[in-house]
Amino acid sequence: SKWVYSFGGGRAEGRSDMKNLLGGKGANLAEMANLGIPVPPGFTIPTEACTFYYQNGNTYPEGLQDQVMVALATVEQIMGAKFGDQTNPLLVSVRSGARASMPGMMDTILNLGLNDVSVEGLAKRSGDARFAYDSYRRFIQMYSDVVLGVDHHHFEEILEEAKDDRNVKLDTELSADDWKKVVAKYKDKVKAAMGRPFPQDVREQLWGAVGAVFGSWMNQRAITYRRLHDIPESWGTAVNVQAMVFGNMGEDCCTGVCFTRDPSTGDNDFYGEFLINAQGEDVVAGIRTPQQLTIHGRELQRSDLPSMEEAMPVVFKELNAIRHKLEAHYKDMQDMEFTVQQGRLWMLQTRTGKRTTKAALKIAVDMAREGLITRKDAIGRIDPAALDQLLHPTLDPKASRTMLARGLPASPGAASGKVVFSAEDAEKWVKERKEKVILVRIETSPEDIGGMHVSEGILTTRGGMTSHAAVVARGMGTPCVAGAGEIRVDYAAKTFKVAGKVIAEGDVITLDGGTGEVFLGAVPTIQPELTGDFATLMEWVDTIRTMKVRTNAETPLDAATARKFGAEGIGLCRTEHMFFAPERILAVREMILASDEKGRRAALAKLLPFQRQDFIDLFTIMQGLPVTIRLLDPPLHEFLPHTDADIAEIAKAANVDVAAVKARNASLHESNPMLGHRGCRLGITYPEIYEMQARAIFEAAVSVSQETGRTVTPEVMIPLVGAKKELDLMKDAVDKIAAEVFAAMGQSVKYHVGTMIELPRAALLAGDIAQTAEFFSFGTNDLTQTTFGMSRDDSGPFLEVYRAKGIYEHDPFAQLDQEGVGELIKIAAERGRATRPGLKLGICGEHGGDPSSVGFCQKVGLDYVSCSPYRVPIARLAAAQAVL
């Protein structure tokens, strides 16, 4: 079988649609070669070889070795150089390349093929012994670290000593002879650490590197990254072996990273950074602050350094032409890496570029308008969950502020938090102390990924827009300011100094990742404007989706926010939330403490006007859109007083003694409250509670109808039903109150009585229940809890273990369990609609705002999903994607 896919010299054995086999990098290198774009020749060892490697005790499949040698010979032929040669050596890079991009997570080796003999060849060929020995020492350092496991700090020490000896500060000040000495010391260090010399056989070097790349698939940071990004371990990585080209052979050489459009704003500007006389990783590592690609970019960044457009106009033009060619070909924004060796341009990589959500929207909408993609394509390109980034606050322009520093606007959004100086501290402070933190680093590296993930914002003092911190923060949607060069960090003292101030660990700062500014203290924020590209895409979304999107809301503020986000009604009003306001809770407690029905009714009479006003507000805000009101659900003890002061207060108000209150508290205690006296069981035992609520609903509906002239059609929802008989009793009670209210007010309104389906029994008996119920709303929080027999409040700790062990892939309370809970929903939908064709079906558990669950809801034929206000736009987009 085929274990090697060659590319280069204007042709390739792979294509861009072979990502599963060749990894993203390998597939796109092949595609570029096929498009006639200059890529250094090379070959890809497919992901299948990685899978084989892990399944067969870290061994290679038969035939791989021979095929690699044949492919290598082709590369030698194209480059006119020979692997390990003493006059004209071929050097290669060995890089990982998984299906999904995992920036910086796995190992890379450059300059492979150098040894004591070929380094001389490189020196002669390049006419630059300094360059050759610098390359050799870089290779020894990288190879020893990655393949041989000799820690890089050993080499850094040797290098520091060499510079001290020569009394210089910069690497570039060392001569060829200095580097020769450094190389000798490096080799001694390897020999001392390994007990054998640094490998001189270039084939041994190559296989060592291939094994290390496969091995890096299972290193800790790659595992963490996969967990955070839901990338399966079974995919494996491909290995790309490619002829080296050098961006560090002199002033007519450079290396850079660029995007076909601005990844931060989405503007159709060529965007990128480069470094003259530098090797590939220098840009990403953020060691030198790079120069801008274009004049426009330089002006935007107010940079004094010349842009590539100015410094190397001819190659820039060629690069710009490739930019247009690649974007037109891939029909999406590309992220490219290039190197110029002695005036000749080489493309090292292209891939779909990561971008901010704001940029994603702008690019999708612009490309649809340009005719490059369809509107449906545009809708499909936006990650619904990522919309979240746009719905969150930015700094209030009117708020006063004290600016500390300015860096690059690396990832948008505003965030405040306490300063910490290491990724470990970030994790500790967030997890153990429940603090919000801003991670402040000179630069970040892939080891910091966990700490970056939990931070509110990231601030670095070195590196550009494509530095590790910037790329990773944008991917996470975390605000980031990068390269704030005036800031001096002192890790040992845990402080940073800027603008004459000293900021210590634990001090609060605010970042504006959209402007690159850093402020002292917490600066107030404001809600975003939902206009422009967001509004346009949302308009397109609404023309194609078939499911409605409602919101879960009780307060006028939430209802109004949800309307602004496009909610088409209320799918769940949890009336118990309305009972906790200070002026109401006393009446609720009086009701609970009352010894008989008469006492309960007296207390409920005090609640009625409050509850009626609540519904008047909601009906008014919703302007005739459907409003589903759920009658009281939680067990009564949730309302009971706990502090002595509260107990004394209620005892006085209810005219009973403190001991009686305590006794009632004790008698209402339940061992399993979620399975206890709650939901319609309350309505069955204390009908007067639901009667008061029904009265409030109908009085509000009639009065809003009268006042606004708009018909209000309330939907009254009974919770936790498990038997038709329960619903029958509750519906009779509701109907009776409706009739009374309509007679008294001289006007009636249409209304519906329905039920939540949140118990397995209700799902199974949905055919019966639908005889009475006029609608179903799936309460998937309780349905998940009761189907799994797993408490929604207590399952966190062991669910984490379950997920780690792969028993459940996701938290079923966040992402609907389609196999189990989903099956019950399907059964209930079918049986309910068999009894009552056209039965209205919705979902109001947390899953209603989760994109993958929304897709499932479409499949089983729900009429609407209901979710919290901030998730309404996410659900609208997910509902549209569900019909693509």
**Residue positions forming the annotated binding site for Mg(2+):** 758, 782
Out of 31, 273, 554, 782, which residue is the one contacting ligand PEP (CB under 6 A)? 782
Phi, psi of 311 (to 5 degrees): -80, -35
Nearer to ligand PEP by C-beta: 282 or 576?
576
Residue with tokens 């989405």: 266
Q: Which residue is nearest to Mg ion (CB)?
A: 782
Out of 120, 366, 512, 782, which residue is the one contacting Mg ion (CB under 5 A)? 782
Nearer to ligand PEP by C-beta: 624 or 673?
673
Three-state SS sequence of 116-175: CCHHHHHHHHHCCHHHHHHHHHHHHHHHHHHHHCCCHHHHHHHHHHHHHHHCCCCHHHCC
By CB under 6 A, tell whether 715 contacts ligand PEP.
no
DSSP letters, 17-56, are: GGHHHHHHHHHHHHHHHHTT-----EEEE-HHHHHHHHHT
Helix, strand, or coil (residue 375)? helix
| Cβ atoms within 10 Å of 48's Cβ, excluding its own | 17
Nearer to ligand PEP by C-beta: 240 or 755?
755
Q: Cα separation of 471 and 482, whole Å?
A: 10
Nearer to Mg ion by C-beta: 737 or 756?
756
By CB under 6 A, tell whether 781 contacts ligand PEP.
yes
By CB under 6 A, tell whether 779 contacts ligand PEP.
yes
By CB under 6 A, tell whether 844 contacts ligand PEP.
yes
Spatial CA neighbour of 389 closest among 424, 354, 365, 421: 354
Catalytic-role residue among 468, 480, 680, 847: 468
Out of 779, 849, 869, 873, which residue is the one contacting Mg ion (CB under 5 A)? 779
Q: Cα separation of 299 and 292, whole Å?
A: 9
Q: Cα separation of 353 and 170, whole Å?
A: 34
| Binding partner of residue 574 among Mg ion, ligand PEP, none, CB cut-off 5 to 8 Å per kind | ligand PEP
Q: How many residues bind ligand PEP (CB under 6 A)?
A: 10
Q: Which residues are annotated as a binding site?
A: 574, 630, 758, 779-782
CB of 720 to Mg ion, least distance (A): 7
Helix, strand, or coil (residue 333)? coil
Map residues 735-774 to x or -, x wherever contact with Mg ion holds by CB under 5 A: -----------------------x----------------
Q: Cα separation of 209 and 218, whole Å?
A: 15
Residues 6+ apart with CB under 8 A from 463: 285, 286, 287, 289, 443, 469, 470, 482, 483
Q: Cα separation of 630 and 871, whole Å?
A: 20
For ligand PEP, which stretch binds (CB under 6 A), given 497-505, 556-564, 777-785, 853-861? 777-785
For ligand PEP, which stretch binds (CB under 6 A), given 109-117, 518-526, 775-783, 818-826? 775-783
CB of 478 to Mg ion, least distance (A): 33
847 labelled catalytic: no
CB 639 within 8 A of CB 589: yes
Map residues 611-640 to x or -, x wherever contact with ligand PEP holds by CB under 6 A: ----------------------x-------
| Binding partner of residue 780 among ligand PEP, Mg ion, none, CB cut-off 5 to 8 Å per kind | ligand PEP
CB of 575 to ligand PEP, least distance (A): 10
Nearer to ligand PEP by C-beta: 494 or 574?
574
Nearer to ligand PEP by C-beta: 373 or 721?
721
Q: Cα separation of 466 and 452, whole Å?
A: 16
Out of 166, 574, 681, 803, which residue is the one contacting ligand PEP (CB under 6 A)? 574
Catalytic-role residue among 50, 254, 844, 857: 844
By CB under 6 A, tell whether 780 contacts ligand PEP.
yes
**Helix, strand and coil in the chain, % to nearest 5:** 50, 15, 35
CB of 765 to ligand PEP, least distance (A): 18
For ligand PEP, which stretch binds (CB under 6 A), given 154-162, 210-218, 776-784, 830-838? 776-784
Q: What residue ranges in 327-382 does DSSP mark as E strands?
A: 334-341, 344-352
CB of 675 to ligand PEP, least distance (A): 12
* Structure tokens belonging to residue 698: 């109908």
Nearer to Mg ion by C-beta: 641 or 779?
779
CB 62 within 8 A of CB 94: no
CB 111 within 8 A of CB 131: no
Of all helices (H) and strands (E), which one includes residue 549? strand 548-552
Out of 413, 760, 845, 849, which residue is the one contacting ligand PEP (CB under 6 A)? 845
468 labelled catalytic: yes
Q: Which residues are annotated as a binding site for substrate?
A: 574, 630, 758, 779-782
List of residues contacting ligand PEP (CB under 6 A): 572, 574, 633, 758, 779-782, 844-845
Would you please indicate which residues are annotated as catalytic (active-site) residues? 468, 844
Applying CB under 5 A, the residues found at the interface with Mg ion are 758, 779, 782
